[in-house]
Amino acid sequence: MIVLNVLLWVLAAILALLLLILLLMLPSVRIRVSMRGGEIKASAHYLIFFYRLHPRPEKPEKKPKKPKPAPEPEEPEPPPEKADKPSLPEMWKQYKPLLRSAKAAMRYLCKRVVIYKVRARVKVAGPDAHAAALRYASAASLVAALTQVLGWAFTLRRADIQLVPDFIHEQSEYDIAFRVRIRPIYALIMGVRLLIVYLTTARRRKKTRKGGKQYERAASH
């Protein structure tokens, strides 16, 4: 009977682990953003779950809490002794591998962020034809630079962007929509990498401090 219970617990643990791996690897966290006529909508989706990012749902008003009586003043405790802090060059030398790994991990994670289904319809207008033409040229340069930066930092799929100069109206109009997705497994991998580097750095720092204290004791004797 005990062996059967142990086997059932092991089987349940294996199934739970497989389910966790499946949830982390297969589905992606998706964010949908749309901007039209000054109105911005954003929502996050994962499997069947949905969360509105903007505009946020209105929260019910909370009842005012009764003021608590002021606590009696306590006697001040003596300040603890301050430990010797390492100098700035020492801290930079100790945490340099961690910062380098954080930069690489962030680069790894950003390249796994996929921006797709980018669609933009923008009518660039101005108070007169000359101003509309200048705004149109500025908007075209901005879009070209923005797509280059997004393509370098993230994974940008094919974007459908249309800029149209409008010499009739004075107010510009825009209709922009795009989606963002990332698999949670990539964030987990990045977190594990940073945790390993942090623990390694902390261990080296502890050894360095221990060696310095032993050297000071030997020198004093």
**Confidence (pTM):** 0.69
Please determine, for residue 20, whether its predicted confidence score (pLDDT) is greater than 90: no
The Cα–Cα gap between 156 and 169 comes to 32
Distances, alpha carbon 145 to alpha carbons 4, 86, 107, 179, 192, in Å: 64, 43, 20, 20, 34
Q: Is residue 96 part of a domain?
A: yes
Residue 18 domain flag: no
Please indicate, yes or no, if residue 121 is contained in any of the structural domains.
yes
- Check pLDDT > 60 for residue 218: no
Express as a percent the part of the chain with pLDDT over 70. Answer: 76
Domain that residue 129 falls in: 28-56+88-220
Number of domains the chain is built from:
1
CA-CA distance, 30 to 128, in Å (whole number)?
A: 41
In tens, the pLDDT along 61-115 reads 777 777 777 666 676 666 666 555 666 777 777 778 778 888 888 888 899 999 9
Q: What angle do CA 134, 136, 139 make, to 5 degrees?
A: 110
**Does residue 116 fall inside a structural domain?**
yes
| 95 assigned to some structural domain | yes
Phi-psi category of residue 194: left, alpha or beta, with phi > 0 → left and psi -120 to 50 → alpha:
alpha
Considering only CA atoms, which of 39, 181, 36 is closest in space to residue 120? 36
Does residue 78 lie within any of the structural domains? no
Predicted pLDDT of residue 18? 67
- Which strand (E) or helix (H) includes residue 205? helix 184-220
On the question of pLDDT at 212 being above 60, the answer is no
The predicted-structure confidence for 138-189, as pLDDT tens digits, reads as follows: 999 999 999 999 999 999 998 899 999 998 988 899 899 999 998 888 888 8
Q: Is 144 exposed, middle or buried (0-12, 13-18, 19+ CB in 10 A)?
A: exposed
pLDDT value, residue 221: 55
pLDDT score of 160: 93
Query: Is residue 19 in a domain?
Result: no
Distance CA 139, CA 131 (A): 12
The answer on pLDDT for 54 being more than 70 is yes
Does residue 202 lie in a domain region? yes
Percent of the chain topping pLDDT 90: 29
